[in-house]
Structure 1
């Protein structure tokens, strides 16, 4: 059942919402800071509940921030080993904690560049850290 879109009714609501939130493509660093603050407040409100009514707004604000960051704050390309080292540091892990990719010796060889990660190890790391397998390739 398609309900026709009543643009004349929606525009005043949109203008009120936009004025209250400043939601729009991010223009500058000050606007970026406001959108980041809004995203943090929305995430606090939703508490990770995917069914929360504000999750759609979380997605929109997150996309606006992501677009701005991609253009104005690009991340340097990282190697798979650099990504692994970063994630180990963030999670307080030692080489011996990564048993899903091999012994401590195997992990050491990977981290020093003497050995490449294989596809099984990449998949295991992707699952463990909840990141794209591309992070380790």
Structure 2
């Protein structure tokens, strides 16, 4: 096992290729240990160099609607009236705490996405 720190994108690609080769390694073997170490190194490199940021609330709502096959009118129980749904989806009205709670509980949209700041349109 010849493992070194991952410092560049090329190092990361090489580590990912090696992980693919080791993917079916049996536990309690040198190959499995190498797989675990490389996976940890890749995860640390990617978190530092390719940070993930949750989508803005409207993108998250629209994505969830698409996943569930929902239309705008289906959001009335979570956001209020049809006009309020329209205003929120067009970014003319911000989400209230009650709306955020309803969307999180009813549609299982991540709170991280729902509470993220976003630009309203006037």
Q: Please classify the TM superposition score into its range, dividing by the shorter chain length.
A: 0.5 to 0.7
Cα gap change, 1:130/1:70 in structure 2, threshold over 3 Å: closer, same or farther? farther
Question: Is it true that 1:110 corresponds to 2:110 in the alignment?
Answer: no
How far does the alpha carbon of each residue in 1:60-112 deviate from its partner, in whole angstroms, 9 at most, with x for none? Answer: xxxxx5x5653344335532112111111122111111122112221110010
Question: Is it true that 1:24 corresponds to 2:19 in the alignment?
Answer: no
Residues of 1 paired with 2:80 and 2:45: CA distance? 39
- Structure 1 residues without counterparts, runs of 5 or longer: 1-14, 29-64
Cα gap change, 1:23/1:111 in structure 2, threshold over 3 Å: closer, same or farther? same
Superposition deviation, residue 125 in structure 1: 0.5
TM-score of the superposed pair, with normalisation by structure 2: 0.55
Residues of 2 paired with 1:125 and 1:110: CA distance? 12
From 66, 75, 78, give the equivalent of 1:89. Answer: 66
2:100 equivalent in structure 1: 122
Superposition deviation, residue 20 in structure 1: 3.4
1:75 equivalent in structure 2: 52
Q: Which has the higher contact order (CA 8 A, sep 6+)?
A: 2
Two-structure CA RMSD over aligned residues (Å): 2.6
- Structure 2 residues without counterparts, runs of 5 or longer: 1-26, 116-122
Paired residues, number: 86
2:15 equivalent in structure 1: none
Cα gap change, 1:128/1:69 in structure 2, threshold over 3 Å: closer, same or farther? farther
TM-score of the superposed pair, with normalisation by structure 1: 0.50
